[in-house]
């Protein structure tokens, strides 16, 4: 079935605004190039580039840039952008002729309950003991990191509300008790005279996050908190109040409010027992840490409606034929992402996380496979035997594989009739043609069967010994369904940050992946015998579970290189500057082989080890570098 684009002026503008980086660079270079006297500028490098690639690459570009556009609001469940993204997927499933798989064949959506969203109904902030009138939305706003309640208590200034910083910096000396009190703090972290962080060479460290600050407040027993936009901070966000839901998920049961710089200045200067200026107070917080009582009592009230959120998987069914039609091959990818970094962000909340690689890249592949495989099935003889194929875009993967686990518990056909699950998660940033495909070992004879497909592909396929990653295939492995998991072999530092944008996607490599799995899926669906499930080597169900829904309290500051080191350790892909890993001397290419003397077999086992640590723990890490094993001391930091 031919691809028919949705023709909308807004959509066209979005696509044009998010063209591949190489094309945008070509345009910039052409625009900057001098035009010789008497010559006329053509200005068509993007047109030329698009004309030079295949129609499939152009189709993939359309889907990818649309799904990763800022208009989709980071595709977080519950957002208008996610609703539009689901509509977009459904539109193409219908257009390509797929049947509705849910609700007895009447719907392309599979709804399931998800943790609720919070809506601010009312808010009030007032002060006793000082003359200070403030207005909601103009001077202050409640934040989603706090709960709905009415509290009143004496105020305590806690600097930047940092429990443990560089060089023994702390705003919470040993034994500090804030029970029944309201904590008042500055936003961000200690900074220099120019308002830049003292602890990060660019931006802010993870100690500046709202979650980190409010966790410290909660642990000290405070009943509420007030965050002051820090005067003089070199950050444009300091001039604005954030939206209610932009600060992250609830950490403290009591209310948390943000004050503008102007209102916060008036509060601190009126309530300081020694009459110091706000600049003097910031100087103390920058240099000394510590905490002290303020001469004010704070009344905070927030009415928050915790609404149950319903998420939806979106799917389309290619009907099978003959004796195999009741069996299923599932091809899946998660559609959702992090929105404004509400959770799971590596850089903090408050900025759009487009999720181009993670996982608009995989979702775009689903649309193309729906089209191509439907055409393949239409060409089959009437007496052919072929399994049905379910193309399934999962929701709420980022918050704990919710959509895939719900489907696995509520499949459209008995789970025993699921012959294979193929999962795409981050196939858009392929480097040096390297794609990791794991899971061949989960089916008897599947690895050998896959070999000709891999050899024929222009991609260089990396085959881990075990199963890489914790993504939506995990739910199917738990049900003993053979799986194949495709992901980039070399991770990048833009993972779970605002930097995961569509201009960085390797469209050609992603389309090679689509072509490869079109053949694999069709071959698996028409193969007379299904692959019997086989437990992968060294698979530990507890470790897989821990990796799937991690409750890690610490951050090392590195990303692994997927597809390498399975059973031998964890290969380091990238190291984030100004993190525990960087300070310890860990480098890209190192292999982590021991953790406090215990052998590190793979990513899953290492994740289980990390889950046992607290911020501040010091670990002896054994690495192999250029054939030599070194031991480095790593001091773990909070996430």
DSSP-assigned states of every residue in 167-229 = GG--SS-TT---TT-EEEEESS--B-TTS-BSS-SSS--GGGSHHHHHHHHHHTT-SEEEEE-
Does the pLDDT value for residue 550 go beyond 60? no
What is the predicted pLDDT for the residue at 47? 83
H or E segment and range at residue 300: strand 292-318
Does the pLDDT value for residue 151 go beyond 60? yes
DSSP E strand stretches across 6-103 = none
Whose CA is closest to 607, among 590, 586, 592, 587? 592
b/e burial code for range 587-617 (CB count within 10 A of at least 16 → b): eeebbbbbbeeeebbbbbbbbbebeebebee
DSSP-assigned states of every residue in 408-427 = HHS-SS-GGGEEEEEEES--
Q: What mean pLDDT comes out for the span 362-367?
A: 98
Q: Would you identify the CATH topology of the domain 117-305?
A: Glucose Oxidase; domain 1 (3.50.30)
**What's the CATH number of domain 550-638, 2.40.110.10, 3.40.50.300, 3.40.50.620, 2.30.42.10?**
2.30.42.10
What is the predicted pLDDT for the residue at 544? 41
For residue 434, count other CB atoms closer than 10 A to its CB: 18
Q: What's the sign of the alpha-carbon dihedral 271, 276, 282, 287? A: negative
- Using a 10 angstrom Cβ sphere, with 0-12 exposed, 13-18 middle and 19 or more buried, the burial of residue 105 is exposed
Strands 618-625, 598-599: pairing kind: unpaired
DSSP E strand stretches across 517-610 = 554-555, 558-560, 570-575, 591-595, 598-599
**Shared fold status for 54-99+319-526 and 117-305:** no
Alpha carbons within 13 A on the beta-carbon side of 25: 5
How many Å apart are CA 58 and CA 508, to the nearest integer? 9
Which residue in the block uniquely carries the two structure tokens 């009459």? 275
Does the pLDDT value for residue 24 go beyond 90? no
pLDDT band at 207 (very low <50, low <70, confident <90, very high): confident
Give the pLDDT confidence of 155-185 residue by residue, as tens digits.
Answer: 999 999 999 888 899 999 988 999 999 999 9
How many Å apart are CA 502 and CA 119, to the nearest integer? 31
Phi, psi of 255 (to 5 degrees): -70, 150
What is the predicted pLDDT for the residue at 583? 85
Indicate the domain borders of the chain: 54-99+319-526, 117-305, 550-638
Is there a contact between 434 and 524 (Cβ–Cβ < 8 Å)? no
Residue 109 vs residue 611, higher pLDDT: 109
How many Å apart are CA 141 and CA 244, to the nearest integer? 7
Give the pLDDT confidence of 291-333 residue by residue, as tens digits.
Answer: 999 999 999 999 998 777 899 999 999 999 999 999 999 999 9
pLDDT band at 87 (very low <50, low <70, confident <90, very high): very high
How many Å apart are CA 306 and CA 254, to the nearest integer? 14
- Using a 10 angstrom Cβ sphere, with 0-12 exposed, 13-18 middle and 19 or more buried, the burial of residue 51 is exposed
Residue 16 vs residue 593, higher pLDDT: 593
- Rounded to the nearest 10 degrees, the angle between the axes of helix 603-610 and helix 541-548 is 70
Which residue in the block uniquely carries the two structure tokens 């090392």? 556
Whose CA is closest to 27, among 45, 12, 8? 45
Q: What mean pLDDT comes out for the span 531-537?
A: 91
Please count the helices (runs of H) and the strands (runs of E) in the chain: 16, 21
Is there a contact between 376 and 521 (Cβ–Cβ < 8 Å)? no
What is the predicted pLDDT for the residue at 630? 72
Q: Is the pTM of this model over 0.75?
A: no
How many Å apart are CA 480 and CA 22, to the nearest integer? 43
Is there a contact between 564 and 487 (Cβ–Cβ < 8 Å)? no
Lowest mean pLDDT among 89-103, 211-225, 568-582: 568-582
Give the pLDDT confidence of 394-452 residue by residue, as tens digits.
Answer: 999 987 788 999 999 999 999 999 999 999 999 999 999 999 999 999 999 999 999 99
How many Å apart are CA 550 and CA 225, to the nearest integer? 28
What is the predicted pLDDT for the residue at 541? 39
Q: Would you identify the CATH topology of the domain 54-99+319-526?
A: Aminopeptidase (3.40.630)
């Amino acid at each position: 079935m031919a691809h028919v684009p949705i023709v909308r002026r807004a959509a066209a503008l979005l696509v044009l605004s998010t063209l591949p980086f190489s094309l945008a660079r070509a345009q910039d270079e052409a625009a900057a190039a001098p035009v010789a006297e008497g010559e006329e500028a053509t200005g068509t490098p993007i047109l030329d580039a698009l004309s030079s690639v295949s129609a499939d690459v152009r189709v993939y570009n359309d889907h990818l840039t649309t799904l990763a556009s800022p208009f989709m609001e980071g595709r977080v469940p519950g957002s208008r952008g996610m609703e539009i993204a689901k509509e977009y997927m459904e539109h193409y499933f219908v257009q390509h002729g797929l049947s509705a798989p849910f609700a007895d064949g009447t719907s392309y959506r599979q709804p399931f309950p998800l943790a609720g969203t919070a809506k601010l109904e009312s808010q009030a902030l007032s002060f006793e003991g000082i003359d200070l009138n403030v207005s909601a939305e103009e001077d202050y706003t409640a934040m989603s990191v706090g709960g709905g309640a009415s509290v009143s208590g004496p105020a305590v200034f806690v600097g930047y509300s940092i429990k443990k910083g560089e060089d023994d910096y702390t705003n919470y000396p040993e034994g500090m008790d804030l029970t029944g009190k309201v904590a008042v703090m500055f936003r961000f972290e200690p900074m220099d005279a120019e308002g830049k962080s003292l602890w990060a060479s660019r931006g802010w460290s993870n100690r500046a996050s709202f979650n980190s600050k409010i966790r410290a407040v909660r642990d000290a027993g405070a009943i509420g908190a007030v965050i002051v936009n820090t005067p003089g901070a070199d950050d444009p966000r300091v001039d604005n109040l954030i939206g209610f839901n932009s600060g992250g998920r609830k950490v403290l049961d009591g209310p948390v409010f943000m004050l503008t710089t102007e209102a916060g200045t008036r509060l601190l200067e009126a309530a300081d027992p020694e009459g110091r200026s706000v600049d003097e107070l910031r100087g103390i917080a920058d240099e000394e840490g510590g905490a002290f009582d303020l001469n004010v009592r704070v009344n905070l009230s927030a009415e928050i409606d915790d609404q149950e959120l319903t998420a939806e998987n979106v799917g389309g069914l290619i009907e099978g034929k003959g004796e195999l039609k009741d069996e299923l091959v599932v091809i899946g990818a998660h559609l959702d992402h992090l929105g404004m970094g509400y959770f799971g962000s590596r850089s903090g909340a408050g900025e759009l996380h487009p999720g181009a690689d993670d996982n608009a890249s995989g979702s775009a592949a689903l649309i193309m496979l729906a089209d191509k495989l439907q055409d393949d099935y239409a060409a089959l003889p009437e007496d052919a035997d072929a399994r049905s194929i379910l193309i399934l875009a999962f929701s709420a993967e980022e918050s704990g594989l919710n959509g895939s686990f719900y489907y696995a518990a509520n499949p459209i056909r008995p789970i025993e009739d699921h012959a294979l699950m193929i999962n795409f998660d981050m196939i858009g940033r392929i480097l040096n043609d390297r794609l990791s495909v794991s899971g061949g070992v989960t089916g008897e004879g599947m690895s050998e069967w896959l070999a000709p497909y891999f050899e024929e592909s222009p991609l260089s396929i990396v085959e881990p010994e075990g199963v890489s990653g914790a993504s939506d295939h995990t739910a199917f492995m738990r049900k003993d369904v053979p799986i194949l998991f495709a992901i980039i072999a070399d991770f990048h530092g833009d993972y779970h940050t605002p930097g995961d944008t569509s201009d960085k996607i390797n469209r050609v490599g992603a389309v090679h992946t689509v072509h490869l799995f079109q053949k694999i899926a069709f071959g698996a669906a028409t193969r007379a015998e299904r692959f019997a499930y086989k437990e992968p080597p060294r698979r530990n169900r507890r470790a897989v579970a821990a990796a799937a829904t991690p409750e890690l309290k610490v951050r090392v500051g590195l990303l692994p290189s997927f597809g390498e080191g399975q059973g031998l350790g964890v290969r380091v892909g990238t190291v984030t500057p100004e993190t525990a890993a960087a300070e310890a001397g860990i480098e890209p290419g190192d292999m982590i082989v021991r953790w406090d003397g215990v052998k590190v077999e793979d990513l899953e086992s290492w994740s289980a080890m990390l889950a046992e640590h607290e911020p501040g723990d010091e670990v002896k890490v054994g690495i192999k570098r250029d054939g030599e094993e070194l031991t480095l001391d790593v001091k773990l930091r909070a996430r």
